[in-house]
Every structure is written in C-alpha cells, then in structure tokens.
Amino acid sequence: MNEKEFVQFVEETKGIVLAAVRKYLPADLYHSIDDVAQETYLRIYRNMKKAAFPDDGSRNNWIYTIAKNESLRMVDRSNREDVKIRQFIESMGAEVPLGEALTDEIVMIREVISLLPNRYRVVFELLVMGFSERQIAEKLSMKRGTIRSRIHRGKELIFRNLSEKGVRYESS
C-alpha cells in the first residue's frame, strides 16, 4: 500500500476509529484522541498484510476492535500514571485525597509538571512514570547527582507553583 492509498484508507475508516475511541476513551482522556488514533493506524498498517477479509464489514469490525483495544490501552496507561502521581503526591508529604479530589490533584500536578522548564519537566515525567533516579540518569545519560539536583529544584518549583494556586504541601 502506497502513501496515497493509505491516506484514502484513513479517510474511509476514520469514522469507525473515532466511534470506537469515543465509546471507550473517557472524557478526561480526550486530549489523547490523536495518540490513540495514530497508534490504531500504526497497528493496522503493521498487520494489514496478514489480514484478509471477505467483505468491508469484516474489515470494519477488525478496525473497530483495534481502535477499542488502543483506547483501553490508553486508559490503562493513564491509570498507571495516576498511581505514580498519587505516590508522588504522598512523597511530597501530603495526604492523598480520595475520589474526585484526587482527580483534581492529579490534573493539577500534571499541569504544574507541564509548566516546569524542560530540564526539570523531563526528569519529573520519567519520575511520575515510575523510573528510579538511577534509571532516569541512564535514560538521560546524566550523572545521578544531576538528577537528584533537578528533582530537588523541580520540587521547589512545583511547591511554589502549587502555593500560587493556593495549595499547601509540607516539603520533604
């Protein structure tokens, strides 16, 4: 399949993909729709040669299932990140609220991390994903002391930003 054919294929099937994504991706993850659609089409492209369909209905069911599975993968990934953010909040010496309040905290922490300067943000994104200081240092090809320093300075920036939003945490 050449590029022009693939573009036409995407145009023909995007309604199917988006229907599955809308059904299986919760509203708080709608910012990930593009990522899910991209992963869906990547998976379709990789497996298209293996697939043979007697009709368009079978092909469309296959595409819908892939989009559904990619949506569910994104939900799982987000849930794992939420657990890591919860641990991060606890590591800052804060009581972790339950239910909706936790969702608000997670959104706020994600927002604050996204506002960090790049050199701190990259470290905190990896930290929230569950990587250790040692693993982050290896991934970024930096010394562990540099990573510790960026974590320390990043926490100060996070506390300051949260304080400006009216949130108070005990720094550890």
- DSSP H helices, the chain, are 3-24, 33-47, 56-91, 100-115, 118-128, 133-140, 144-164
Q: Residues 74, 97: one domain? A: no
78, 107, 137: which is the final residue of a domain?
78
Q: Residues 107, 51: one domain? A: no
21, 55, 78: which is the final residue of a domain?
78
What does the pLDDT read at residue 94? Answer: 55
53, 78, 103: which is the final residue of a domain?
78
Where the chain has pLDDT below 70, the residues are: 89-106, 167-172
CA contacts within 13 A on the Cβ side of 104: 8
What does the pLDDT read at residue 141? Answer: 93
State if pTM tops 0.85.
no
User: Which CATH number goes with the domain that contains 66?
Assistant: 1.10.1740.10
What does the pLDDT read at residue 68? Answer: 95
What does the pLDDT read at residue 79? Answer: 82
Q: Residues 132, 68: one domain? A: no
141-165: per-residue pLDDT in tens? 999 999 999 999 988 888 888 778 7
Q: Residues 96, 133: one domain? A: yes
Q: What Å distances lie between residue 32 and 23, 29, 49, 155, CA to CA?
A: 14, 6, 27, 26
Q: Residues 100, 58: one domain? A: no
